[in-house]
Amino acid sequence: MQKNAYFRGLTIPFLLLAPQLAITVVFFYWPASQAVWQSFLLQDAFGISTDFVWFENYQRLFADPGYYKAFVNTAIFSTFVCVLSLSIALLFAVMADRQIRGAEVYKTLLIWPYAVAPAIAGVLWIFMFDPSLGMLARALQSAGVAWNPRLNGNDAMTLVVLAATWKQISYNFLFFLAGLQSIPKSVIEAAVIDGARPWRRFWTIVFPLLSPTTFFLLVVNIVYVFFDTFGIIDTVTGGGPSGQTETLVYKVYSDGKGGSNLGGSAAQSVVLLVMVIAMTAVQFRFIERKVNY
Amino acid sequence: MAQVTLTNVKKIYPGGVEAVKGVSFDIPDGGFCVLVGPSGCGKSTLLRMVAGLETISSGEVSIGSRVVNQVEPADRDIAMVFQNYALYPHFSVYDNMAYGLRNLGTPKDEIDRRVKEAARILAIEPLLERRPKQLSGGQRQRVAMGRAIVRKPQVFLFDEPLSNLDAKLRVQMRVEIKKLQRALGVTSIYVTHDQVEAMTLSDKLVVMNAGQVEQIGVPADVYKKPASRFVATFIGSPPMNILTGAIDGPGIVALGDAIIEARDLSENLPAGMAVEVGLRPEDVEIASEGAAGSLPFDVEFIEELGATQLFHGQLSGLPFIMQAATDTVAAQAGRVWITVDPDRVHVFDPASGTRLGRM
Amino acid sequence: MVEDRRLGDAIAYVILSIGVLIVAFPVWLTFVASTWDNATIINGQLPLWPGPHLFENYYRILFVGASSSTREPVASMMLNSFVMAMAIALGKIVISVLSAYAIVYYRFPFRMAAFWIIFVTLMLPVEVRIFPTFKVVSDLSMLDTYQGLAVPLIASATGTLLFRQFFMTIPDELLEASKIDGAGPFRFFKDTVVPLSLTTIAALFVIQFIYGWNQYLWPLLVTTRDSMQTIVIGIRKMIVTSDALTEWQLAMATAMLAMLPPVLVVVLMQRLFVKGLVETEK
């Protein structure tokens, strides 16, 4: 935490820290505290007067079925994206970890979607699955599937899940591959000699040894689904049809956009904030705990 | 229990590098064979081929009467102790030892009996519930051994198992491994680069260099009659001195102005043929000036080792070391005269490095 | 190990190839669409191979602009994206190298407080405080400016933590030796710390450039004029023009252009990218 060799002084370190602290305070702490403050305020319909209403915004929020809907949507969305992108990425990583020729090339070919902006990923997928002109949508329709993400909430959810998963596989793949490569080769060889066949070897040795990576990725993926997928949802469905793909973050945006429900939007922000902090705390806990072997 | 036979075993990597260039030897049932050589000599590759962790490019490995080239490691009935122990970090000591038996479908009570017995033999009973991370280096070493012995395999394979231990523990574990192997009577192959381990543990010593076997024999023979200049300088510490000389007649070599007798020198060598003469530091003695066959040794400095002293210096222009018991020789720099036992003069062909001895 | 290699390798090749196909197919289709005319696309008759309009489409979108939605040519949007990405990446590197240097190499009162003030922001993505932040930027009249696009995204704990972690691995002896050689804090920073940190700096740059280029929600809010919009925002406007016919061939060309710079960065600087990704997330 601290070097044994260091400089003394007060002015220089203060000057060095000043830009970072100034920006942090102006663009982080001040707005975050504003969010908390606003969540206790209520504007009247015309935006003329503002009252301090304690927890009324929160009460309304939790009484709002639309908010529950956003919770459920977020839960479904996160679950599917996490499970799909983690398992597919793990499969690819295990395959790429075999010492086959060209493994490096495959690695390069699998990681680049990380660089694609979520909003662009959304555009790519809506283009394929647009009910009227999408190539794959037409294929589905001609196969007898009544595919229409513009009208059917399940179709819309499927589409955002696919787009979000597609983009996240590369990230998970990279970390799983690094995790696999950090397992000592001799431990795997010991298991080979101990008579564990590949399938059993994977589940009794490799997978448990990957668990720190898996857990880390799980938290990162949840945060990804919560926040970074905003662009995907906005370009693919815009939260629709009728709020069926509206997640918590999307709702903060759409409720606050018109400026009519700033208090409610702020309350939602605060709830999200608490959730992120809880997740980060869990992650730190775990990182400490993984020291146990 | 089983005999292990290697017949012209080769390892050629896809890039064309030949790591093992045709090795043949066998280890009798219950024998303890040590493969020794500098790093990169192919000894570990050879061991891993016996284990089945590397494919065999050509040749044959058999365990018992069965050729195992195409047999999976798990089905070869072997156990291996790795250099870094390769314990499963997420298993307890008990589970580390039980894992192999569970994979074989051994009944639970039988597993329990065998693990406890191994733990008793290795004195690690109090550690059974611990994780590898909570163990010292020596304890991990024992667990790795335990994992091997619970399997009751036909062959033990050791891949430099002691090299991660400190010097004191290494000596202790060396003795224990030897005792254990005697008691269990399991055929063992042990890879090391440490010549002391090689000498003390083996009853069959295989010295390897650059993918080839330099010499196979019981340790005492390898020491007394090294088959090549490589073996002569690799086995023994401090290493054998190598001087240049020439054949003077049957059983006689000339070293500069001096003429010395070499009893184990092949006949029919042409006089005047250039040779290399090897003398072990402990095989030379101080003599009086002008004694028959005495050589002038210019001592430059002396290292005091306690029981013995090492005299460093030059002999006919080449570096030379003599070892002598403390207090037998005055420890001072300057010229001394030394003689050597004719039975302990080693002569090598300078081109091929092979020993020019009687058959 | 001995026997199952060949079959296992074959399975690995098949699965990885399927993976590459899944990953590449949407982009291939986008590329194909960007080389046809709009009628072909709208009729749903897009083939799987490129068409004849590649140069025409890209020329038009880069230098003229789509007609129905935004009149801004994509070249200027790309310039905006580039300025924003560079400003975020470089700005972040500068302020976090400096603050990490102060925290690691100085002892002063409130050192830990300063560290925690920065550290806590790790947990505050811009999305959760989006409207109040917007208000701050608007009060500072930074809407529709490059400063407004970049500065609020510059401060985050990632860079400071990364450099702090790296500085901790620089042996103390180096500072002691520099002191004996008469170097002060500025010299030590310039002659020792920065040269040693170059790969870390490059790795962080790669990650932050991608991060900056791909920003969506923030530029969506703070840019109102077409001349300030970034390419990722521009494409949204091209597609979400309510009833006017979306010019898909141009939108898809824009998507290709929007992907190109960050993807090139990942592919060409793969090692730095991997290093940056793995280390910023620790």
What pLDDT is stored for residue B7 in this prediction?
92
Q: Are C204 and C92 in contact (CB under 8 A)?
A: yes
Band of pLDDT at residue B331, cut at 50, 70 and 90 = low
Band of pLDDT at residue B93, cut at 50, 70 and 90 = very high
Is the pLDDT at B352 greater than 60, yes or no?
yes
Lowest model confidence (mean pLDDT) among B83-92, C21-30, C247-256: C247-256
Residue-range domain boundaries for chain B:
4-233, 239-348
Query: Are C216 and A23 in contact (CB < 8 Å)?
Result: no
Q: Is the minimum CB–CB distance between A170 and chain C shorter than 8 Å?
A: yes
Is the pLDDT at A293 greater than 80, yes or no?
no
Q: Between residues B359 and B283, which one has the greater pLDDT?
A: B283
What pLDDT is stored for residue B187 in this prediction?
93
Lowest model confidence (mean pLDDT) among A147-151, B58-62, C99-103: A147-151
Is the pLDDT at A30 greater than 70, yes or no?
yes
Question: Which letter does DSSP use for residue B299 in this model?
Answer: E
Is the pLDDT at A1 greater than 70, yes or no?
no
Chosen from B85, B90, B102, B163 to mutate, greatest number of chain A CBs within 10 A: B90
Of C101, C128, C251, the CB nearest to A269: C128
What pLDDT is stored for residue A85 in this prediction?
94
Q: What is the tally of structural domains in chain A?
A: 1
Q: Between residues A26 and A279, which one has the greater pLDDT?
A: A26
Is the pLDDT at B35 greater than 90, yes or no?
yes
What average pLDDT does range B285-291 have in this prediction?
Answer: 82
The predicted-structure confidence for C42-76, as pLDDT tens digits, reads as follows 777 777 788 787 787 888 877 777 665 556 788 88
Does the residue A27 lie in any domain? no
What pLDDT is stored for residue C69 in this prediction?
53
Does the residue A53 lie in any domain? no
* C1 contacts on B by Cβ (under 8 Å): 52-54, 72-73
What average pLDDT does range B170-181 have in this prediction?
Answer: 90
Residue-range domain boundaries for chain C:
5-60, 74-280
Band of pLDDT at residue A259, cut at 50, 70 and 90 = low
Chosen from A27, A87, A171, A222 to mutate, greatest number of chain C CBs within 10 A: A27
Lowest model confidence (mean pLDDT) among A167-171, A268-272, B199-203, C152-156: C152-156
Is the pLDDT at A89 greater than 90, yes or no?
yes
What pLDDT is stored for residue B359 in this prediction?
61
* B52 contacts on C by Cβ (under 8 Å): 1-2
Query: Are C8 and A114 in contact (CB < 8 Å)?
Result: no
**What's the CA gap between A10 and C114, in Å, rounded?**
13
Displacement of CA A185 from its chain's centroid (Å): 32
Q: Which CATH number fits domain B239-348: 3.30.1180.20, 2.40.50.140, 3.40.50.11540, 3.40.50.2300?
A: 2.40.50.140
For chain B, percent of residues with pLDDT exceeding 70? 99
Band of pLDDT at residue A288, cut at 50, 70 and 90 = low
Q: Which chains pack against A, by 3+ Cβ pairs within 8 A?
A: B, C
What contacts 24+ positions apart, CB below 8 Å, involve A62-68? Answer: A66/A243, A66/A246, A66/A251, A67/A251, A67/A268
What average pLDDT does range C94-122 have in this prediction?
Answer: 85
Q: Is the minimum CB–CB distance between B53 and chain C shorter than 8 Å?
A: yes
What pLDDT is stored for residue A290 in this prediction?
47
For chain B, percent of residues with pLDDT exceeding 90? 51
Amino acid at C248: W
Q: Which CATH superfamily is domain C74-280 in?
A: MetI-like (1.10.3720.10)
Torsion-angle region of B250 (φ positive above 0: left; ψ -120 to 50: alpha; else: beta) = beta
**What's the CA gap between B351 and B358, in Å, rounded?**
18
Query: Which residue has tokens 């070599």?
Result: B253
* C3 contacts on B by Cβ (under 8 Å): 70, 72
Distant-in-sequence, close-in-space partners of C146: CB < 8 Å, separation ≥ 6: C80, C83, C84, C87
Query: Are C128 and A273 in contact (CB < 8 Å)?
Result: yes
Q: Which chains pack against B, by 3+ Cβ pairs within 8 A?
A: A, C
The predicted-structure confidence for A106-164, as pLDDT tens digits, reads as follows 888 888 888 899 999 998 998 888 888 888 888 888 887 788 878 888 888 999 999 99
What pLDDT is stored for residue C67 in this prediction?
64
CB atoms within 10 A of CB C55: 9
**Which 3-state string (H, E, C) describes chain C?**
CCCCHHHHHHHHHHHHHHHHHHHHHHHHHHHHHCCCCHHHHHCCCCCCCCCCCHHHHHHHHHHHCCCCCCCCCHHHHHHHHHHHHHHHHHHHHHHHHHHHHHHHHEECCCHHHHHHHHHHHHHCCHHHHHHHHHHHHHHCCCCCCHHHHHHHHHCCHHHHHHHHHHHHHCCHHHHHHHHHCCCCHHHHHHHHHHHHCHHHHHHHHHHHHHHHHCCCHHHHHHCCCHHHCCHHHHHHHHHCCCCCCCCHHHHHHHHHHHHHHHHHHHHHCHHHHHHHHHHHCC
CATH number at residue A85: 1.10.3720.10
Query: Which whole-number Å values give the CA distances from C121 to A19, A38, A164, C118, C128, in the listed order?
Result: 15, 20, 25, 6, 12
CA atoms within 13 A on the CB side of B231: 29
What pLDDT is stored for residue C144 in this prediction?
84
**Which 3-state string (H, E, C) describes A52-116?**
ECCCHHHHHHHHCHHHHHHHHHHHHHHHHHHHHHHHHHHHHHHHHHCCCCCHHHHHHHHHHHHHC
pTM, two decimal places = 0.85
**What's the CA gap between A250 and A245, in Å, rounded?**
9
What average pLDDT does range A64-82 have in this prediction?
Answer: 89
CATH architecture of the domain covering B4-233: 3-Layer(aba) Sandwich (3.40)
Q: Is the minimum CB–CB distance between A110 and chain C shorter than 8 Å?
A: yes
The predicted-structure confidence for A41-53, as pLDDT tens digits, reads as follows 776 656 666 777 7
Q: Is the minimum CB–CB distance between C127 and chain B shorter than 8 Å?
A: no
What pLDDT is stored for residue A291 in this prediction?
37
Give this complex's ipTM.
0.86
- In chain B, DSSP assigns E strands to 4-12, 18-27, 32-36, 58-63, 66-67, 78-81, 155-159, 187-192, 204-209, 212-217, 241-249, 252-255, 258-261, 274-279, 284-287, 295-304, 308-315, 318-325, 334-340, 346-348
Q: Between residues B241 and C127, which one has the greater pLDDT?
A: B241
Band of pLDDT at residue C240, cut at 50, 70 and 90 = low
Is the pLDDT at A292 greater than 50, yes or no?
no
CB atoms within 10 A of CB A216: 18
Q: Which chains pack against C, by 3+ Cβ pairs within 8 A?
A: A, B
What contacts 24+ positions apart, CB below 8 Å, involve C121-124? Answer: C121/A24, C121/A28, C121/C155, C121/C156, C121/C157, C122/A280, C122/C156, C122/C157, C122/C158, C122/C161, C123/A276, C123/A277, C123/A280, C124/A28, C124/A32, C124/A273, C124/A276
Chain B: give the shortest CA distance to residue A179, in Å.
Answer: 15
Query: Are B88 and A205 in contact (CB < 8 Å)?
Result: yes
**What's the CA gap between A239 and A70, in Å, rounded?**
10
- Among candidate residues B137, A108, B270, the one with its CA nearest the CA of residue C269: A108
What pLDDT is stored for residue B10 in this prediction?
92
User: For all residues of chain A together, what is the average pLDDT?
Assistant: 84
Distant-in-sequence, close-in-space partners of A266: CB < 8 Å, separation ≥ 6: A34, A35, A36, A37, A38, A39, A41, A57, A256, C131, C132
The predicted-structure confidence for B219-271, as pLDDT tens digits, reads as follows 999 999 999 999 999 998 889 999 998 888 888 888 888 888 888 888 788 88
